[in-house]
Amino acid sequence: MSPTPPNPPVFVLVHGAWHGAWCWRRVLPLLRAGGHEAHAVTLTGVGERAHLLSERVTLQTHIDDVIGLITAEELRNVVLVGHSFAGLVITGVADALLQRAPGVLRDLVYLDALVPRPGESWSSTHTPETVAARVGAAQASGGLSFPPPDAAAFGLDGADRDWVNRRQTPQPLAVYQAPLAFDAQRVASLPRSFIDCPQPALATIAVSRERVRSEPGWRLLSLPTGHDPMVSAPEALSALLLDIARA
């Protein structure tokens, strides 16, 4: 009797700030057509879960959102993809699951994403001007959330820009300056890829781009598009993700 073939990798996609699972609409069917199970999470307080926005939504809430999906669906061999802000989230997820359930995660993919160091927050690598602007913008909501930028900042135009602008929702402020404690060596035990999207390059990702070029252990990939490649280049992005799953 021939041995049972291993299950193909499963994709779990985690959106960045102001977005929701909706942003992966063009990518999910391509990953599934490639023979893989694929899930997209919506983090608490944004997207179709914007009605749950409250002062109780924290960075740990978002980490628990992702762990909750992986646990509820009983997923293993997971390629965990985090876009933008969600680089912080998937780092926290990896640190937790490597302790609680080793073997669940297969790869980490940072999609034009924040690459944190222990004790850093999302805001740690931003300029003082950016931090002040975002915290100041949250005053209109009583410090609860801050509004999204125009999607043109992500290199989108035309119908794509309009689609993203319609769907973006305010981001919970509590996740912006919350530090993440994690074991860097533990997280680095997983294969890690960084997908750079430099056309145009989003300034708030600049420090992460430098880190993955100077630190060992990273697989560096690039797409000639802007910060929302799941919208602007879904076919090319899906091809890269499928390549990572085959590696």
Q: Where are the domains of the chain?
A: 10-246
Tally DSSP H helices, then E strands, for the chain.
9, 8
Which helix or strand (DSSP H or E) is residue 19 part of? none
Q: What is the pLDDT of residue 6?
A: 64
170, with CB counted inside 10 A (0-12, 13-18, 19+), is buried
What pTM did the predictor assign? 0.96
Identify whether the C-beta of residue 51 lies closer than 8 Å to the C-beta of residue 142: no
Q: Quick one: average pLDDT of 23-49?
A: 98
Helix, strand or coil for residue 196? strand
Q: What is the mean pLDDT of residues 72-78?
A: 97
Per residue in 144-176, pLDDT (tens digit) is 999 999 999 999 999 999 999 999 999 999 999
| Mean pLDDT, rounded, of the chain | 96
Q: Was domain 10-246 assigned CATH 3.40.50.1820?
A: yes
pLDDT band at residue 1 under the 50/70/90 scheme:
very low
Query: Catalytic residue among 2, 54, 84, 193, which?
Result: 84
84: annotated active-site residue: yes
Percentage with pLDDT > 90 across the chain: 96
Average pLDDT over every residue of 179-193:
98
Q: Looking at per-residue confidence, does 5 or 105 come out higher?
A: 105
Which of left, alpha, beta for 143 (phi over 0: left; psi -120 to 50: alpha)?
left
Find the mean pLDDT for residues 176-200. Answer: 97
Spatial separation of the C-alpha atoms in residues 206 and 81, rounded to whole Å:
19
Q: What sign does the dihedral 128-175-85-156 (CA atoms) show?
A: negative
C-alpha–C-alpha distance, residues 188 and 98, integer Å: 11
Burial (CB count <10 Å: 0-12, 13-18, 19+), residue 142: exposed
**49 contacts 42 by C-beta, under 8 angstroms:** yes
- Please compute the mean of the pLDDT values over residues 192-208 and round it to a whole number: 97
Query: In this predicted model, what pLDDT tens digit does every residue of 39-59 receive, in sequence order?
Result: 999 999 999 999 999 999 999
Asked whether residue 2 carries a pLDDT value surpassing 80, the answer given is: no
The confidence score (pLDDT) of residue 152 equals 98
**In degrees, to the nearest 5, what angle opens at C-alpha 203 toward C-alphas 200 and 209?**
90
Neighbours of 74 (CB within 10 A): 7
Over residues 15-30, mean pLDDT: 98
Phi, psi at residue 62, to the nearest 5°? -70, -40
